[in-house]
Chains A and B, each alone.
Chain A
Amino acid sequence: MLLIPLLPLVSFVITGLFGKRYFKEKSHYLSVAAVAVSWALSMYVLVQVMGGERLNWQVYQWIAAGSFKVDIGILVDPLTAVMLLVVSTVGFMVHVYSIGYMKDDDGYYRFFAYLNLFMFSMFMLVLANNYLLLYVFWEAVGLCSYLLISFWFPKKSAANAGTKAFLVNRVGDFGFGLGIMLIFLTVGTLSYTGVFSSVATIGTGTITAICLLLFMGAMGKSAQFPLHVWLPDAMEGPTPVSSLIHAATMVNAGVYMVARSSPIFSQSQTAMLVVALVGSFTAIFAASIGLVQNDIKKVLAYSTISQLGYMFTALGVGAWTAGMFHLVAHGFFKGLLFLGSGSVIHAMSGEQDMRKMGGLKNKTKITYWTFVVGALAISGFPGLAGFFSKDSVLAGTFHKGYWYLWAVGLIAAFMTAFYMFRLIFMTFHGEPRDEKAYAHAHESPRSMTIPLIVLAVPSALIGLVLGLPPEDGYIDHLLHPVFENVLGEVHHFGLLDGGLMTLSALIGIGGIMMAWLFYVKRPDLPAKAGARAGFLYRAALNKYWIDEIYFALVINPVQALGRGLWRGVDQLAIDGFVNNAARFVRGIGNALRPSQSGGVQSYLMTMFLGLLVLTISYWLLTM
């Protein structure tokens, strides 16, 4: 069990220490091997858990201070196993992919070392059996995210994006930390089992506060409005990182944490409603920004935010398994889409602006087809992963009586289908818009295309495997024990669900058709529609000025305060005091300097006169 996280850790240490000097372009051997073994072990764990195995193992006591006891412990249940499945599979594929993508990069060894560190932290995050350990590795994945976003740190925008991600996450983590302290204050323990078993004894107000604080952390990590601003900027990092950390695994940590805390959250109606509303709003908000972005990775980033919003909606309304199902499906197809976009960027020699692409379909066949699979999956095309997972989210929302959230979800689903196929049509179809880049375009090496193919398989099939029949599929049964006490009666598929399903399928296909109409059939339409929408279009294009608002409300005042303190307190008061003390001493020195003339005889004269004065005064006194 412990080997799953430990292997990447060992590999991180070795690659990090010796990579620069000894491994160089061979740095990936050890890293990939370690993650491959971790993957195999994770699969083994998954199979064991499917067979009914559970584990709650105290590895050793970490902190013991009075009543405050924290163990390093591992908890394995279906929820953990499902997370392991996503993390290890996407992680493994991204490692393989990076061999091709990061080839010839100066920081090759460093990249693999960081990836390993991330894998270790993420494994520990999902394996932890108490809140403090969760928090520690929650921060550790944040650190890795920071390191990898600003991986190309000589580029100023990359370094800034890393800092931004770190700072925005700090806001959320502040809440998370407070939430954990409040849990300890209230129930006196931090282990999952201990907390969940005494949930009934906590007062309603306290439990709402705990939930909202925990959710604040989730909002930061999973990029929910209004803390979503770091994720689009995080696209400055290398594409495999965007795929692994900022689409498939780390950003899911928030969803995982809320799902893990389901016994607490389900006690507070208010908190659940907040989760659902924030998720739902983020889903449509981010999707609408995604409609108009021109950077291929930014589109995917906003799509990720939007899909995470879906997951929170599902959790918030109490459709726990649906949320986790969507997490798994999304992990696969969004990982695939990001790797695909990386392949496109690779083909275009680093170009990310979709307006300069086009016609790549013929040059990059594998990328194109796998990308289409991923896009169909996320659009909810019948039969693919996203269809089942998204439908179970929407249906769950509908059944729990939140029809307005369901309607918002449907609109967001329409937008999702539209922007994904807008991306495909702009990138792969039509005439090449930049002849020079097009001429150089080429398919990526095999180390990059194989992961694409591998990830396309679960993107296409996982819905059929896990999601049939809808809301009563294998994943629901697998996860049922985890959410046993919080899940209502298991819903069985009926005529109404058939209708809902058809509707969401039609919505998805409608979005695809619309994109086709706009970007293939009538390429003049987007400009017209943009002009017609006027203000809304500009608002979406500028991401609703959220960054600008933050600048006006937080960053500028803080900088002004800092400048004020620097000029007023530091330069004037503190520096002034120190400088004046020095000036005072120097003044005394200057005043006394002439007496040290260096003339021996003048010294002697002084001594002589002094002696004379002493003698005379003695003589006068003793008279």
Chain B
Amino acid sequence: MSPLQQYLILAVILFFIGAWGVLARRNIIMVIMCVELMFNAINVALVAFSNYSTTGAGRGEVFVFVIFALAAAEAAIGLAIAIAMYRLKQNLSVDDLDELRG
């Protein structure tokens, strides 16, 4: 098993842990944290590809920094939503966010 494959397996495991958290956790903060986990799984994959690539060396790292910035912004907004939600509903369960029910 090549090192690249090992990195990629790690990334997939991280990604599915994150995905499971987003889909299954009820607490909005946990959901946000799992989203971060998914971002980072992607980052691992990108860095690995970049490191073992012969033509595109360095491009993956640049992309990762962009994702860091995005993730920071996303976390800020997500936490702001969590605070606003707590003020509104006095709890943080995602199941209570059902105002758009048909």
Q: Is the CB of B102 within 8 A of A596?
A: yes
Chain A contacts of B94 at CB under 8 A? 599-601
A595 with B102, Cβ < 8 A, contacts A600-B94, A600-B97 known:
yes
* CB-nearest residue of chain B to A605: B23
The answer to the question of B22 belonging to the interface, with a C-beta cut-off of 8 Å to chain A, is: yes
Flag A595-615 by CB within 8 Å of B: 1 or 0 each: 111111100110010000000
Q: Is the CB of A593 within 8 A of B23?
A: no
Query: Which listed residue, B24, B31, B97, touches A598 by the CB 8 Å rule?
Result: B97
Q: Is the CB of B23 within 8 A of A597?
A: no
Query: Which listed residue, B22, B23, B24, B101, touches A596 by the CB 8 Å rule?
Result: B101
Interface residues of B in 39-62 (CB under 8 A from A): none
Flag A230-269 by CB within 8 Å of B: 1 or 0 each: 0000000000000000000000000000000000000000
The answer to the question of B67 belonging to the interface, with a C-beta cut-off of 8 Å to chain A, is: no
Interface residues of B in 4-28 (CB under 8 A from A): 19, 22-24
Chain B contacts of A598 at CB under 8 A? 97-102
Query: Which listed residue, B23, B95, B99, touches A608 by the CB 8 Å rule?
Result: B23
A600 to B25: give the CA distance in the assembly, Å: 12
Chain B contacts of A608 at CB under 8 A? 19, 23
* CB-nearest residue of chain A to B19: A608
Q: Is the CB of A597 within 8 A of B22?
A: no
Q: Is the CB of B100 within 8 A of A604?
A: no
Chain A contacts of B100 at CB under 8 A? 596, 598
* CB-nearest residue of chain B to A596: B102
In the assembled complex, the CB of B100 is this many whole angstroms from the nearest CB of chain A, namely: 5
Chain A interface size, under 10 / 10 to 19 / 20 to 34 / 35 or more: 10 to 19
A192 to B38: give the CA distance in the assembly, Å: 98
Interface majority SS (helix, strand, loop, mixed), chain A: helix
Interface residues of B in 53-98 (CB under 8 A from A): 94-95, 97-98
A593 with B19, Cβ < 8 A, contacts A598-B97, A601-B94 known:
no
Chain B contacts of A592 at CB under 8 A? 102
Chain A contacts of B97 at CB under 8 A? 598-600
* CB-nearest residue of chain A to B22: A604
A596 to B95: give the CA distance in the assembly, Å: 13
Query: Which listed residue, A595, A599, A604, touches B95 by the CB 8 Å rule?
Result: A599
A601 to B102: give the CA distance in the assembly, Å: 15
Chain A contacts of B31 at CB under 8 A? 601
* CB-nearest residue of chain A to B102: A596
Flag A572-594 by CB within 8 Å of B: 1 or 0 each: 00000000000000000000111
A519 to B23: give the CA distance in the assembly, Å: 107
Chain A contacts of B22 at CB under 8 A? 601, 604
Chain B contacts of A599 at CB under 8 A? 94-95, 97-98, 101
Q: Is the CB of A597 within 8 A of B19?
A: no
In the assembled complex, the CB of B84 is this many whole angstroms from the nearest CB of chain A, namely: 15
Chain A contacts of B23 at CB under 8 A? 601, 604-605, 608
Chain A contacts of B19 at CB under 8 A? 608
A410 to B101: give the CA distance in the assembly, Å: 91
In the assembled complex, the CB of B90 is this many whole angstroms from the nearest CB of chain A, namely: 19
* CB-nearest residue of chain A to B26: A601
* CB-nearest residue of chain B to A604: B23
* CB-nearest residue of chain A to B98: A598
A276 to B84: give the CA distance in the assembly, Å: 97
Chain B contacts of A604 at CB under 8 A? 22-23
A605 to B25: give the CA distance in the assembly, Å: 12
* CB-nearest residue of chain B to A607: B23
A389 to B95: give the CA distance in the assembly, Å: 101
A605 to B19: give the CA distance in the assembly, Å: 9
A604 to B35: give the CA distance in the assembly, Å: 12
A601 to B25: give the CA distance in the assembly, Å: 9
* CB-nearest residue of chain A to B95: A599
Chain B contacts of A593 at CB under 8 A? 102
A605 to B31: give the CA distance in the assembly, Å: 13
Flag A118-154 by CB within 8 Å of B: 1 or 0 each: 0000000000000000000000000000000000000
A604 to B98: give the CA distance in the assembly, Å: 14
A604 to B38: give the CA distance in the assembly, Å: 14
Residue with the highest number of chain B CB atoms closer than 10 Å, among A592, A594, A597: A597
Chain A contacts of B24 at CB under 8 A? 601
A598 to B31: give the CA distance in the assembly, Å: 17
Chain B contacts of A595 at CB under 8 A? 102
In the assembled complex, the CB of A614 is this many whole angstroms from the nearest CB of chain B, namely: 16
* CB-nearest residue of chain B to A592: B102
Residue with the highest number of chain A CB atoms closer than 10 Å, among B31, B101, B102: B102
A608 to B21: give the CA distance in the assembly, Å: 13
Can you list 23 residue pairs at the A/B interface with Cβ under 8 Å?
A592-B102, A593-B102, A595-B102, A596-B101, A596-B102, A597-B98, A597-B101, A597-B102, A598-B97, A598-B98, A598-B100, A598-B101, A599-B94, A599-B98, A600-B94, A600-B97, A601-B23, A601-B24, A601-B94, A601-B95, A604-B22, A605-B23, A608-B23
A residues sitting closer than 8 Å to B (CB atoms) are 592-601, 604-605, 608
CB-based closest 9 A-B pairs: A596-B102, A598-B101, A598-B98, A593-B102, A598-B100, A605-B23, A597-B101, A601-B94, A604-B23
Q: A599-B101, A601-B95 are in contact. List 15 more A-B contacts (CB 8 A).
A: A592-B102, A596-B100, A596-B102, A597-B101, A598-B97, A598-B98, A598-B99, A598-B100, A599-B95, A600-B97, A601-B22, A601-B23, A601-B24, A608-B19, A608-B23
